[in-house]
């Protein structure tokens, strides 16, 4: 069963010849699949060709498949795995195809039930032509060499294929297509999305939309008249709900305990506000309108206020008004209906996700278009399974539809069968995995050749500390301190931050902790601060923001220094783009140390001070800045985005966001070399560090410290134990010689 690649390449000419001798197009395509079959020892092969006149892809030639049945099913571009592969740039290999839901449409029509599948986009230059699907015996997976020879063959064939496609389009009229069975739209079965956290959840769907938006109530016509008594009852329920919510959040998220709902409760204590509403109700205005009328006056007062802190109150106030009216009109809080359900939503703010978590929602399906990345990070911290899907596939799903969210793979099952649910119920949660494998986590992180690798944790919330300790991490590599800011509806004070940071320090039991100062802006926007920027990724963000709003910066640094007294404290500044910027930030830090000393407040006098290396401008001056700082932490998420000029949150350009780009690899090497030469610590804390496939390169260039979200510890720790650093170094050196992505990918064997 040896694959004959040489012969196959040789046969390309034969294929072209086949075209001229075939009596019709199908004869040519049949001939093509047969030649590929012989040389790749396939058990099935099918060619789907896209027809722009009918706007669908349909099966035009095959063997090992039931042509008659599959011919009836067509795919629109982007629909199902076939439609998705039409615009893919790389082949997709599926090892357990029979169980993979994306291939469910073909499995009943296979002659042989084998597991290995390969899907290959057929294209001429940038123009998609169709998709080829191939199947092989289980245990005979598609190897890199097979894929390469297929790529060569199909690229040579593309010219002929384009002609085939054009001729087919002339042959068919759009009407003909109407007789075909449409592809069974996945909204009744299965959706392929993008994983945004981990775990799985099964529950009934609830769409999360307009109720929370105050304008909904402005436009609502109230048929019932609500009395003063109704208003007071609603007010009482609101207070009780907020107190309950606060307690729930306290047990789940220590850092938010005293912070998040206090602002709402305080407003309710404002007698003037309540009196004014009651006055209007007594004058005969319906209670919901009275609340909105007075609410509007307060909102504009907040909005126009010179003081930033007062302006921040606006969102709290809106939230509160929504809650009171909800209680008045529906006799329940705005989040009550989400208890144990699967939320389907177009947008989600961090404060929403907290309230969802307090309501114990089971899972979230986020439709693309909303703010995503920090919400995904929060979902991970709160261990809420979340998947991001294309909104057109699911937006009209009725409430209470049974849904299973598999956040490990990004799959969403609508009306899943009992079998699928049963299968998932056997999956272990991350906590179970850790509990069942304590010995494994206690083992030192050493490579095959005995080199110690420091595995630090990335944390966002105090609740992450528990996991970081359980998995025995070496410390906190990055604490994204913006999260307490992001999930609130106003800037936390120094005291509030101090309270949160103390919890982190206590929780880490003396292990090193790296606090990253406020990294907002870009995709991490505060709901209560109007950045008003056309291009926020390149705007007033991170350290640029804190240097502009020095008071906010100083409050944070003082809180960190105070909480970090007697601890192994490291502080780093994000998005540093020049030496001057670092020095100015460090001066502020030093002046905070001095002031705390003068005031006689206990604090850490000598923290290590470092930077995130994530702006490309730093790379050419890396040796110069290495002399100023105590450590580097490489933020590949931003570094890649800026090096390749590709928005890390924009799905449309996701294919360009490739950590294996030669410039990324060479930049990483330069940074690590410089740290080693200047004898300062260097670690990597971007997402690249939690993907096993990049690990040999990272260790190969000399990185010995990684910082990852604790949920990825099991797989990364396992991968470290299997790596030989000598071999990794050889691989890294070879990779660094390559200047083309395709060569790098081939070498790293990820195709």
CA–CA separation, 678 and 671 (whole Å): 11
Q: How many of the other CB atoms lie within 10 Å of CB of 523?
A: 19
Q: Where does 333-490 show beta strands of DSSP type E?
A: 342-345, 363-367, 386-389, 402-406, 411-414, 454-459, 476-480
Pick one of Mg ion, ligand PEP, none as the site partner of residue 636 (Cβ within 5 to 8 A by kind). Answer: ligand PEP
Which entry of 5, 39, 264, 374 is annotated as an active-site residue?
Answer: 374
Q: What is the CA radius of gyration of the chain?
A: 29
**Contact set with ligand PEP (CB under 6 A):** 480, 519, 614, 635-638, 685-686
**Dihedral sign, CA of 698, 700, 705, 709?**
positive
Residue among 254 and 615 whose Cβ is closer to Mg ion: 615
Pick one of Mg ion, ligand PEP, none as the site partner of residue 480 (Cβ within 5 to 8 A by kind). Answer: ligand PEP
What minimum distance in Å lies between the beta carbon of 648 and ligand PEP? 8
CA–CA separation, 454 and 234 (whole Å): 54
**Dihedral sign, CA of 527, 542, 611, 724?**
positive
Angle between helices 579-598 and 550-563 (to 10 degrees): 60
Contact 359, 338 (CB under 8 A): yes
CA–CA separation, 418 and 275 (whole Å): 56
Active site residue 374: yes
What residue is closest to Mg ion based on CB?
Answer: 638
Pick one of Mg ion, ligand PEP, none as the site partner of residue 686 (Cβ within 5 to 8 A by kind). Answer: ligand PEP
What minimum distance in Å lies between the beta carbon of 259 and Mg ion? 24
Residue among 322 and 637 whose Cβ is closer to ligand PEP: 637
User: Which DSSP state fits 210?
Assistant: G
Q: Exposure of 156 by Cβ count < 10 A (0-12 exposed, 13-18 middle, 19+ buried)?
A: middle
Residues 6+ apart with CB under 8 A from 737: none
Active site residue 592: no
Residue among 41 and 373 whose Cβ is closer to ligand PEP: 373
Residue among 165 and 374 whose Cβ is closer to Mg ion: 374
CA–CA separation, 633 and 631 (whole Å): 7
What minimum distance in Å lies between the beta carbon of 614 and ligand PEP? 5
Contact 357, 340 (CB under 8 A): no
**Dihedral sign, CA of 11, 16, 21, 25?**
positive
What minimum distance in Å lies between the beta carbon of 482 and ligand PEP? 8
The 613-652 site mask, x for binding Mg ion (CB under 5 A), equals -x--------------------x--x--------------
What minimum distance in Å lies between the beta carbon of 254 and ligand PEP? 21
**Tokens standing for residue 559:** 């809180």
φ, ψ at 101 (rounded to 5°): -60, -25
Pick one of ligand PEP, Mg ion, none as the site partner of residue 60 (Cβ within 5 to 8 A by kind). Answer: none
Residue among 404 and 664 whose Cβ is closer to ligand PEP: 664
φ, ψ at 573 (rounded to 5°): -100, 130
Residues 6+ apart with CB under 8 A from 407: 195, 196, 197, 198, 199, 200, 201, 363, 379, 385, 386, 387
Residue among 32 and 460 whose Cβ is closer to ligand PEP: 460
Site for Mg ion in 586-615 (CB under 5 A): 614
Site for Mg ion in 157-186 (CB under 5 A): none
What minimum distance in Å lies between the beta carbon of 637 and ligand PEP? 3
φ, ψ at 604 (rounded to 5°): -80, 125
What minimum distance in Å lies between the beta carbon of 22 and ligand PEP? 53
Pick one of ligand PEP, Mg ion, none as the site partner of residue 146 (Cβ within 5 to 8 A by kind). Answer: none
Residue among 255 and 482 whose Cβ is closer to ligand PEP: 482
CA–CA separation, 253 and 264 (whole Å): 18
φ, ψ at 683 (rounded to 5°): -140, 170
Contact 200, 420 (CB under 8 A): no
**Tokens standing for residue 585:** 């930030």
Size of the site for Mg ion (CB under 5 A): 3
What minimum distance in Å lies between the beta carbon of 711 and ligand PEP? 15
CA–CA separation, 296 and 540 (whole Å): 31
What minimum distance in Å lies between the beta carbon of 443 and ligand PEP? 26
What minimum distance in Å lies between the beta carbon of 523 and ligand PEP? 8
Contact 636, 664 (CB under 8 A): yes
Pick one of ligand PEP, Mg ion, none as the site partner of residue 11 (Cβ within 5 to 8 A by kind). Answer: none
Residue among 43 and 636 whose Cβ is closer to ligand PEP: 636
What minimum distance in Å lies between the beta carbon of 79 and ligand PEP? 32
Which entry of 45, 62, 592, 685 is annotated as an active-site residue?
Answer: 685
Residue among 412 and 486 whose Cβ is closer to ligand PEP: 486
Residue among 128 and 635 whose Cβ is closer to Mg ion: 635
Residue among 372 and 604 whose Cβ is closer to Mg ion: 372
Pick one of ligand PEP, Mg ion, none as the site partner of residue 720 (Cβ within 5 to 8 A by kind). Answer: none
Place of tokens 């919330």: 461
Q: Exposure of 367 by Cβ count < 10 A (0-12 exposed, 13-18 middle, 19+ buried)?
A: buried
Residues forming beta bridges with residue 681, ordered by sequence position: 631
Binding site for Mg ion (CB under 5 A): 614, 635, 638
Residues with active-site annotation:
374, 685
């Amino acid at each position: 069963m040896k694959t004959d690649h040489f012969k196959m390449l040789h046969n390309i000419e034969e294929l072209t010849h086949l075209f001229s001798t075939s009596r019709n197009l199908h004869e040519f395509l049949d001939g093509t699949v047969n030649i590929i079959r012989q040389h790749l020892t396939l058990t099935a092969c099918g060619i789907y060709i896209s027809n722009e006149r009918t706007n669908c892809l349909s099966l035009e030639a095959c063997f090992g498949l039931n042509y008659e049945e599959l011919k009836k099913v067509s795919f629109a571009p982007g629909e199902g795995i076939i439609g998705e592969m039409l615009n893919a740039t790389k082949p997709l290999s599926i090892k357990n195809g029979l169980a993979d839901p994306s291939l469910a449409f073909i499995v009943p029509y296979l002659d042989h039930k084998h597991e290995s599948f390969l899907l290959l986009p057929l294209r001429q230059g940038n123009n998609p032509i169709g998709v080829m699907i191939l199947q092989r015996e289980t245990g005979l997976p598609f190897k890199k060499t097979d894929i390469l020879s297929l790529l060569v063959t199909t690229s040579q064939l593309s010219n002929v294929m384009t002609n085939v496609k054009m001729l087919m389009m002339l042959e068919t009229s759009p009407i003909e297509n109407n007789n075909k069975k449409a592809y069974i739209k996945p909204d009744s079965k299965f959706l392929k999305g993008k994983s945004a956290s981990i775990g799985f959840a099964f529950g009934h769907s609830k769409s999360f939309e307009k109720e929370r938006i105050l304008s909904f109530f402005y436009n609502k016509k109230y048929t019932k008249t609500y009395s003063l008594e109704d208003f007071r009852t609603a007010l009482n329920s609101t207070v009780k709900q907020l107190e309950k919510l606060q307690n729930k959040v306290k047990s789940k998220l220590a850092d938010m305990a005293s912070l998040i709902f206090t602002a709402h409760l305080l407003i309710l204590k404002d007698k003037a506000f309540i009196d004014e509403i009651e006055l209007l109700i007594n004058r005969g205005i319906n209670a919901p309108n009275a609340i909105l009328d007075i609410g509007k006056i307060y909102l504009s007062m907040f909005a126009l206020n010179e003081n930033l802190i007062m302006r921040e109150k606006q969102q709290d106030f809106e939230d509160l008004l929504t809650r009171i009216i909800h209680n008045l009109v529906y006799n329940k809080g705005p989040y009550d209906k989400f208890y144990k359900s699967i939320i389907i939503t177009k947008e989600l703010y961090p404060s929403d996700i907290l309230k969802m978590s307090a309501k114990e929602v089971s899972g979230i399906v986020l439709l693309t278009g909303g703010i995503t990345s920090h919400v995904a990070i929060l979902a991970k911290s709160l261990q809420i399974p979340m998947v991001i899907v294309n909104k057109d596939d699911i937006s009209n799903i009725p409430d209470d539809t049974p849904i299973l969210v598999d956040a490990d793979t990004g799959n969403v099952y609508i009306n899943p069968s009992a079998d699928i649910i049963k299968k998932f119920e056997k999956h272990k949660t991350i906590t179970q995995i850790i509990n069942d494998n304590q010995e494994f986590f206690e083992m030192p992180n050493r490579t095959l050749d005995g080199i110690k690798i420091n595995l630090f944790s990335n944390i966002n919330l105090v609740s992450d500390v528990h996991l970081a300790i359980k998995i025995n991490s070496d410390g906190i590599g990055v604490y994204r301190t913006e999260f307490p800011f992001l999930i609130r509806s106003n800037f936390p004070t120094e005291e509030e931050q101090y309270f949160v940071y103390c919890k982190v320090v206590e929780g880490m039991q003396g292990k090193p902790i790296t606090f990253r100062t406020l990294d907002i802006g870009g995709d991490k926007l505060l709901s209560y601060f109007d950045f008003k920027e056309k291009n926020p990724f390149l705007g007033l963000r991170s350290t640029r923001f804190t240097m502009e709003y020095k008071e906010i910066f100083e409050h944070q640094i003082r809180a960190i220094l105070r909480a970090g007294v007697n601890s192994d404290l490291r502080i780093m500044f994000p998005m540093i783009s020049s030496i001057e910027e670092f020095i100015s930030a460090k001066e502020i830090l030093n002046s905070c140390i001095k002031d705390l000393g003068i005031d006689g407040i206990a604090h850490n006098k000598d923290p290590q001070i470092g930077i995130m290396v994530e702006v490309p401008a730093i790379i050419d001056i890396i040796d110069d800045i290495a002399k100023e700082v105590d450590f580097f932490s490489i933020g590949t998420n931003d570094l890649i985005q800026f090096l390749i000029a590709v928005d890390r949150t924009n799905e449309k350009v996701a294919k360009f966001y490739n950590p294996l780009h030669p410039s990324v690899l060479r930049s990483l090497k330069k940074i690590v070399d410089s740290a080693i030469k200047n004898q300062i610590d260097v670690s990597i804390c971007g997402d690249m560090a939690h993907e096993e496939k990049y690990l040999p390169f990272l260790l190969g260039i000399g990185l010995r410290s990684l910082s990852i979200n604790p949920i990825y510890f099991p797989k990364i720790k396992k991968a470290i134990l299997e790596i030989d650093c000598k071999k990794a170094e050889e691989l890294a050196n070879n990779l660094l010689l390559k200047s083309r992505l395709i060569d790098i990918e081939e070498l790293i064997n990820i195709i």
